Structure 1
């Protein structure tokens, strides 16, 4: 369950803009995140997710806009913000020729944590790393490297955790265990902003924000984002779905056609036009396949948003705030 909306705002940014040369990478982005929320930050490669995260935590200075992170000004208090935030990057960035314990001890030294040995031991136990504490980081699998990186990011007890594609290249079981840990941390009051490409991970977030070409184009709970897309889905089951796909793909009212196993998902904004296109394709092929109303999923919506953004038909930049969430 998402946190109560009366809780403190942890991230509150307005109009953030960042340019590199003549290219605007982040364009007038505004958002807020509340304490204990897990917010998914989604979008294609190069959409501005990482740049926005780095501006929030003080690693990059915005060219325009303002805001606060943990109540501190992102422009004036960047150094203070860095010490209160945990930041886990996509690329494993710890010393592969040091053991797990030695890496965590190194991080504890950087933060000048008191009673360092006790903190490291507690972190090893908390993240299930104690049994591997003397194993070289370079010999770890992707899932264990991820767990080490998470441990290093939270051992100083940050109030905000920023995760940039944290589970890329990690097996499904390790991903699930990682997300179970993230939810446990959030229940204890930690706020999490995570960028991801995985739709199942997005569905585990309290809210999601979709960014394309530097602009926020959608935001809210998963249910709200799907509903606001206005898309309908028809599922065609049976034989000849490959032939039906070729026929229906270019029919009026059809935006997406995608096979899922033995089924075909046909997606579009107008239910009547969609049904007419599918029925015509079934009649044309003489197929005995069955067409039934289906549930539009998050992947359908994000493909639609990406196609819209590529066409340059971006909506006005919104501000997906906690007040837009369902009660």
Structure 2
């Protein structure tokens, strides 16, 4: 993992986040290059949103450093350079789409022409005069995405922006994301839909608060010997579930087993636990038959 301030939009070093008594991250390291789409992928609850909040600077952290575009995360200097689209739409229900966007455009000093541009890009031109309260959940999410696209942010942090959208609209929005990246913007897009991995330049796959792969779509398939993103991710999870603690890089994730003791696997997901139980049940049936 490199650390080059000129090529990396985000640098995370030793990130430690605690939520109550739960350790979300214990020494997370990550670099995100400029001008690319980086996909944060993994099951719900794996830490994607917490990592994005840390990058934006709205997450309370217990330790470590997060540098964004050369500045500490959350710095005043980043307010117009970083856009964040949360899972919950952050718009006013009693205002129309156009009124919401005009209001937020003034807040970020975006040109008035940006309002029509982003409305077109998210496919809501025919609904521009409808109030937010009259929209569907997917349409409301698209308005929130449009707000994040106002101005010319260097970094867009998008938390599951395509959830609940039909395949055609998802494809159209990914086309918009690609255009933004080609124009020089950096995008961090989280998703638990693995086929969206193929649309990213770089993939960061997470599980239970840890990064289990930092790769590319081609690298993912080459490493797992698969051609299906869901199968590839499951392969990585299976490897991770039985991985031994190794070396200094693993030290931050927990103590290594003592000499002569078996390596303790990472806690299983519900699916893994169910599959393991089914496997044990079939094995018992075979031994008694």
Same fold per superposition (TM over 0.5): yes
- The 3 A distance-change label for structure 1 pair 307 and 313 is farther
* 1:140 equivalenced with 2:139 (yes/no): no
Q: Is the 8 A contact 1:101 1:120 kept in 2?
A: yes
Q: What residue is the counterpart of 1:54 in the other structure?
A: 53
Query: Which residue of 98, 101, 106 corresponds with 1:101?
Result: 98
Q: Is the 8 A contact 2:122 2:173 kept in 1?
A: no
Q: Is the 8 A contact 1:143 1:175 kept in 2?
A: no
Give, in whole Å, the separation in 2 of the partners of 1:149 and 1:130.
15
Give, in whole Å, the separation in 1 of the partners of 2:110 and 2:82.
18
Give, in whole Å, the separation in 2 of the partners of 1:317 and 1:180.
38
Q: What residue is the counterpart of 2:259 in the other structure?
A: none
Q: Is the 8 A contact 1:17 1:29 kept in 2?
A: yes
Q: Structure 1 unaligned runs (5+)?
A: 232-294, 319-327
| TM-fit CA distance, 1:35 | 1.8
* 1:42 equivalenced with 2:41 (yes/no): yes
Deviation readout 1:114-152 (Å, 9 max, x if unpaired) = 65x444344434545444321122223444333322210
Q: Which has the greater radius of gyration? A: 1
Q: What residue is the counterpart of 2:192 in the other structure?
A: 197
Deviation readout 1:184-238 (Å, 9 max, x if unpaired) = 1111111001111112211100010111111111111112122223x5xxxxxxx
Q: What residue is the counterpart of 2:81 in the other structure?
A: 84
Q: Is the 8 A contact 1:143 1:174 kept in 2?
A: no
Q: What residue is the counterpart of 2:228 in the other structure?
A: 297
- The 3 A distance-change label for structure 1 pair 124 and 165 is closer
| TM-fit CA distance, 1:10 | 0.8
* 1:168 equivalenced with 2:163 (yes/no): yes
Q: What residue is the counterpart of 1:258 in the other structure?
A: none
Q: Is the 8 A contact 1:10 1:69 kept in 2?
A: yes
- The 3 A distance-change label for structure 1 pair 310 and 223 is same
- Per the normalisation by structure 2, the TM-score is 0.76
Q: Structure 2 unaligned runs (5+)?
A: 252-289
- Per the normalisation by structure 1, the TM-score is 0.68
- The 3 A distance-change label for structure 1 pair 296 and 124 is closer
Deviation readout 1:75-98 (Å, 9 max, x if unpaired) = xx5333343211111222212221
